[in-house]
Amino acid sequence: MSLSIRVATRDDVPLIAQFIRALADYEKLLHEVRFDEAVLAEKLFGARPYAEVLIGEIDGAPQGFALFFHNFSTFEGRPGIYLEDLFVNPQARGSGLGTALLARLAQLAVQRDCARLEWSVLDWNEPSIGFYKALGAKPMDEWTVFRLDGDALSGLAAKA
């Protein structure tokens, strides 16, 4: 078995969309997926890319992906990498591909002088939580994620 990680290209957008939907289905959130593939392609591979994607392959067949972007730590005075999505097809789990994707992200973080690699995980997702802890990741239990979207986002923007 041969594992490989490659940088995604615009031609991978249908594959990326498939992985996003599969992840959303696993997370019981498929009903919240509403992206348009053309817009996704522009936001990932257009004039101002907002995120990057790695494709994980086993024996040349795509089996997973990692979608990430840079954030910034004011306390560290350095960038970080935020992992938005990590997904490995169920039949490929246990192959080492998830570890390989995270290892490549860690390598990019070190190469880019990032202070950290961060992500969120649903609190019920015990298999993933165990996997992350086994890699040395620490939960940030003292932090709570907040989100503005939809009408709340538009409403606050209107106050500017």
The catalytic residue positions are 132
If we measure between CA atoms, which residue out of 1, 21, 128, 11 comes closest to residue 61? 1
> Contact at 8 Å (CB) between 23 and 85?
yes
| DSSP secondary structure of 79-118 | EEEEEEEEEE-GGGTTSSHHHHHHHHHHHHHHHTT-S-EE
Rounded to whole angstroms, how far apart are CA atoms 39 and 44?
9
If we measure between CA atoms, which residue out of 58, 147, 141, 136 comes closest to residue 102? 136
Rounded to whole angstroms, how far apart are CA atoms 25 and 17?
12
